[in-house]
Amino acid sequence: MTVLSYAPAWVKWGLVALIQIGLVATPLAERIGVHMGGREVVLAMQPIDPRDLLRGDYVIVSLEIERVDRSLARPGETFERGDTVYVSLEKDAGGVAHAAAVSTEPPVDGALAIRGEVTSAGGATTLAIDYGLDAFYVPEGTGRPLETADRNRLRLVIALTESGKSAPLRITLDGKTVVGDTLF
């Protein structure tokens, strides 16, 4: 016999409810932690505006740093699909971050780096990397104008933690917020 076999039904159901709440709350708490503890980084992007009948408008975000030149890796370092990688970022004069190095090891010098997963390592010169920043939900009817905006003027501002975790904060056009994360 277990301890739960003697517990009243409301205790058992309460335990089940707590477990379910915990499963739902864990990713949310992690995202809130990234938003609150991360520093802001601006990335160049190219939007594509689809529509999901169940969730409304969202912008598919194609980031410049999703394709990283293999020459930015240490000599002899190899990559395979599914590898966790850290892309070190350097800001240009306009404050936009670009890939400066890529490695399977996190930077030890406290450099600004974003963690991602290699989705394709088959190219001779580039790696395809996913950072989990590929969709940004927007209020209904606001996605289409982003699609037609000059792609050189659009930016995705993210929160980035020291461990490389990231979360989208807002999309800007010429430095002005067009749409922000509705969670915050």
What Rg do the C-alpha atoms of the chain give, in angstroms?
20
Tokens encoding 51: 């529509």
Q: What is the pTM of this model?
A: 0.77
Q: What angle do CA 181, 176, 40 make, to 5 degrees?
A: 55
Write out pLDDT tens, residues 57-96.
677 788 999 999 999 998 889 899 999 999 999 999 989 9
Alpha carbon distance 184, 177 (integer Å): 13
Collapse the DSSP code of 15 into the 3-class scheme (helix H, G, I; strand E, B; otherwise coil) and give the result.
helix
β-bridge partners, 171: 156, 179
